[in-house]
């Protein structure tokens, strides 16, 4: 019987009904301390340190602080030091602040070759869906489940439903994978994928690089999805070849991975069709990622919305965002620009952003910041001279971490500040209390930094 | 975790959809390394600004897509430690729902009309065994996975239950399934 890629991976990992084996557990400092403590309290050991890896990302300052002991914020310092101690006590490899392979957990997994097709991958972080871009089943879990995986290397799971989104045609010039996923969430809503593992497929997806695919799978959670997946292909294998963690007999592994894609005739619980050629550069206007429109549109009018719940949510969002219905998006003026996060902080994101600068300067009204996703991305960018391009244009060039995506470190917005951000969440207060976030692609963020307002990247010379 | 059988009492109503975990427990409170002490920071920004007022009643009712966003289990800890024992909403994010059930905190999905009726009634009784919510003027039944229900009713420890299958886990690891993926300690 024909099977979906998800079904193949699920069946290969069933220890017994509703108990699946986990091949890789990624750990970071915020959602793990209580889990490690739980192991200690119950006298349990961490079953498979060799299938576990830890890094410090959420809390770390990006100002060049070299080690955990020198983090100024006492609570952040304690959390990162606790991670280091827990990893040492339980035998888990850890890439903490100062390590040359430290970085955002969803950036380092792929770049170290730890993320591979056909695997089950979990992490106490909702953006674990990122790793699905390699044809893995990857999803976020809470701290109780983190402890469960540490103790048993398994998870109790009901089999989720499956959805396939088929994108016909290819993306237009200036339109990125960030726009594709934002447009998809705009169409399906913030809970449109709830309960589903989503496979992204079609010509537009096949044409993307691995890093572009990761951006799409990353934001599956913003559509409510449990996991996002993309079939592995030559693009996947070429990206992986030579990375440190990949199988020694790489070509044999590739042959196995070629069996993973969904079989012809396999059925999904839901299928969705989207015309990729109709997607434009997108900008969020509200306080959920589903509140998103084309950059050429105007701020929507709540009065024209059908459901009372939508109307009320939109009114609240506009008030919070300090926007008026009918304002052209291109007239909105961010004071801050953030290029970074597990969504868009990889080397190709930085190359695109730097490439769009073309000798121009950040507008006087804007403070702009670039935060590479990992220490390796930072080193690579510096080798290519991207740091100089950014700094000469007036961007701040920072150290690796989650940074202003969630503002757990000192990189935050102040009340009322408006930010064009390449991150994934525009929730109230996400980047700082009272901060106003507009989600965009790296090139759109760069253009906004230089012009001082949003622009349609397609007409921007 | 504590077993759940019935939950009865007054209802707090948060009439909003897409309540995300960043609102439930803002980031600055995620730096703690303990599981306790989150209740007083529940909805910190909204409560401090007087934008919402919530009493620590046994039952919270809210709008669709409750608990969306970050996987932080701190959100469930904060709601539970504030005093809520159950939350009723038209839909939940998957991770929030799962996190709730691991903490003896009962998430219940009911259609929006019934959520509103319960909020209007101001008090309700939840019976997990019969999977019903009753209030003055109405009653509704809700779905819950049989295994999740069994664990909530018994206050059972997930890890201890799974470790009863340790032989099967070992057998899995000894087979082809044990060979997938990298050896992180070898890098």
Q: What is the DSSP string of A197-217?
A: EEEEESHHHHTS-HHHHHHHH
pLDDT in tens, A391-418: 999 999 999 999 999 999 899 999 999 9
Residues A235-239, mean pLDDT to the nearest whole number = 98
pLDDT in tens, A144-199: 999 999 999 999 999 999 999 999 999 999 999 999 999 999 999 999 999 999 99
pLDDT in tens, A322-359: 999 999 999 999 999 999 999 999 999 999 999 999 99
User: Under DSSP, is residue A227 helix (H, G, I), strand (E, B) or coil?
Assistant: strand
Given A15, A53, A221, which is nearest B165 (Cβ)? A15
Q: Which two tokens stand for residue A10?
A: 């699920």
The distance of B39 to chain A (nearest Cα, Å) reads 16
Q: Which two tokens stand for residue B87?
A: 């939350």
Look at residues A388, A433, A384 and name the one whose alpha carbon lies nearest to residue A408: A433
Q: Do A408 and B187 touch (CB under 8 A)?
A: no
pLDDT at B1: 87
Mean pLDDT across chain A, nearest whole number? 97
Interface confidence, given as ipTM, is: 0.97
Q: How far apart are CA A24 and CA A219, in angstroms?
A: 20
Q: What's the half-sphere exposure (Cβ side, CA atoms, 13 Å) at A204?
A: 25
Q: How far apart are CA B38 and CA B59, in angstroms?
A: 18
The distance of A392 to chain B (nearest Cα, Å) reads 33
Residues A12-25, mean pLDDT to the nearest whole number = 98
Q: Which two tokens stand for residue B104?
A: 């003896």
pLDDT at B75: 98
Q: What is the pTM of this model?
A: 0.98
Cβ–Cβ contacts within 10 Å for residue A270, how many? 15
Q: How far apart are CA B20 and CA A287, in angstroms?
A: 10
The CA dihedral of A202, A207, A212, A214, to the nearest 10 degrees, is: 50
Given A15, A113, A191, which is nearest B172 (Cβ)? A15
pLDDT at A461: 77
Q: Side by side, which strands form the sheet with A14-16?
A: A14-16, A19-21, A154-156
The residues near A274 (Cβ < 8 Å, ≥ 6 apart) are A165, A166, A167, A168, A183, A184, A187
Given A18, A33, A425, which is nearest B147 (Cβ)? A18
**Rounded (5°) CA angle B184-A26-A52:** 35
CB proximity B180 to A under 8 Å: yes
CB contact residues (below 8 A), chain A span 121-160, against chain B: 124-126, 140-145, 147-148, 151-154, 156, 158, 160
Residues B49-61, mean pLDDT to the nearest whole number = 96
Decide if A177 contacts A312 (C-beta within 8 A). no
CB proximity A13 to B under 8 Å: yes
Q: Which two tokens stand for residue B25?
A: 């427990």
Burial class (CB in 10 A: 0-12, 13-18, 19+), B120: middle
Please give the interface size between A and B, counted as residue pairs whose CB atoms are below 8 Å apart: 203
**Rounded (5°) CA angle B102-B104-B106:** 100
pLDDT in tens, B23-52: 999 999 999 999 999 999 999 999 999 999
């Amino acid at each position: 019987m024909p099977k979906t890629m998800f079904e193949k991976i699920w069946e290969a990992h069933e220890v017994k009904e509703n108990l699946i084996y986990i091949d890789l557990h990624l750990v970071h400092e915020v959602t793990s301390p209580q889990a490690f403590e739980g192991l200690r309290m119950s006298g349990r050991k961490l079953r498979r340190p060799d299938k576990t890896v830890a890094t410090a990302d959420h809390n770390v300052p990006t100002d060049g602080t070299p080690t955990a002991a020198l983090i100024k914020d006492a609570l952040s310092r304690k959390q990162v030091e606790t991670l280091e101690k827990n990893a040492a006590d339980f035998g888990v490899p850890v890439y903490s602040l100062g390590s040359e392979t430290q970085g955002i957990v969803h950036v380092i997994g792929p770049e170290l070759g730890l993320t591979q097709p056909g695997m089950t991958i979990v992490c106490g972080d909702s953006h674990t869906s990122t790793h699905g871009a390699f044809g893995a089943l990857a999803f976020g879990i809470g701290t109780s489940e983190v402890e469960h995986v540490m103790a048993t290397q398994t998870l109790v799971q009901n089999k989720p439903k499956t959805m396939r989104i088929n994108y016909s045609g290819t993306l237009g010039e200036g339109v990125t994978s960030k726009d594709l996923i934002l447009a998809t969430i705009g169409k399906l809503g913030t809970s449109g994928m709830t309960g589903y593992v989503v496979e992204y497929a079609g010509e537009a997806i096949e044409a993307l690089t691995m890093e572009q695919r990761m951006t799409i799978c990353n934001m599956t959670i913003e559509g409510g999805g449990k996991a996002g997946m993309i079939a592995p292909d030559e693009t996947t294998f070429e990206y992986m070849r030579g990375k440190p963690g990949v199988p020694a007999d790489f070509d044999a592994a590739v042959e196995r991975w070629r069996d993973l894609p969904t079989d012809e005739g396999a059925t999904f619980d839901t299928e969705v069709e989207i015309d990729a050629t109709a997607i434009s550069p997108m900008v969020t206007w509200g306080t959920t990622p589903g509140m998103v429109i084309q950059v050429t549109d105007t701020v929507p009018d709540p009065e024209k919305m059908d459901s009372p719940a939508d109307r009320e949510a939109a009114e609240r969002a506009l008030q919070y965002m300090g926007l008026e219905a009918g304002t052209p998006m291109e007239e909105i003026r961010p004071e801050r620009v953030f290029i970074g996060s597990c969504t868009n902080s990889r080397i190709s994101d930085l190359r695109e952003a730097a490439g769009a600068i073309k000798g121009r300067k950040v507008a006087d009204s804007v403070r702009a910041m670039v935060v590479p996703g990992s220490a390796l991305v930072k080193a690579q960018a510096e080798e290519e001279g991207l740091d100089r391009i950014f700094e000469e244009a007036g961007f701040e060039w920072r150290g690796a971490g989650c940074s202003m995506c969630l503002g757990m470190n000192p990189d935050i917005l102040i009340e009322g500040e408006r930010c064009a951000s390449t991150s994934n969440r525009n929730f109230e207060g996400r980047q700082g209390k009272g901060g106003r976030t507009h989600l965009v692609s790296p090139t759109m963020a760069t253009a906004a930094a230089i012009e001082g307002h949003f622009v349609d990247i397609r007409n921007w010379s | 975790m504590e077993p759940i059988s019935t939950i009865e009492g007054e209802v707090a109503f948060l009439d909003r959809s897409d309540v995300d975990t960043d609102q439930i427990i803002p980031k600055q409170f995620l730096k703690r390394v303990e599981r306790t002490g989150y209740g007083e920071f529940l909805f910190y920004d909204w409560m401090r600004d007087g934008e919402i007022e919530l009493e620590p009643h046994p039952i919270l009712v809210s709008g669709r897509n409750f608990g969306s966003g970050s996987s932080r289990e701190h959100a469930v800890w904060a709601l539970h430690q504030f005093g809520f024992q159950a939350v009723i909403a038209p839909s939940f994010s998957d991770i929030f729902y799962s996190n709730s059930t691991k903490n003896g905190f009962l998430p219940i999905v009911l259609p929006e009309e019934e959520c509103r009726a319960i909020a209007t009634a101001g008090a309700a009784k939840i019976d997990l065994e019969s999977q019903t919510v009753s209030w003055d003027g109405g009653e509704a039944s809700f779905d819950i996975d049989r295994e999740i229900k069994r664990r909530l009713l018994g206050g059972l420890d997930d890890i201890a239950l799974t470790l009863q299958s340790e032989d099967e886990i070992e057998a899995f690891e000894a087979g082809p399934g044990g060979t997938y993926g990298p050896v992180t300690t070898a890098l």
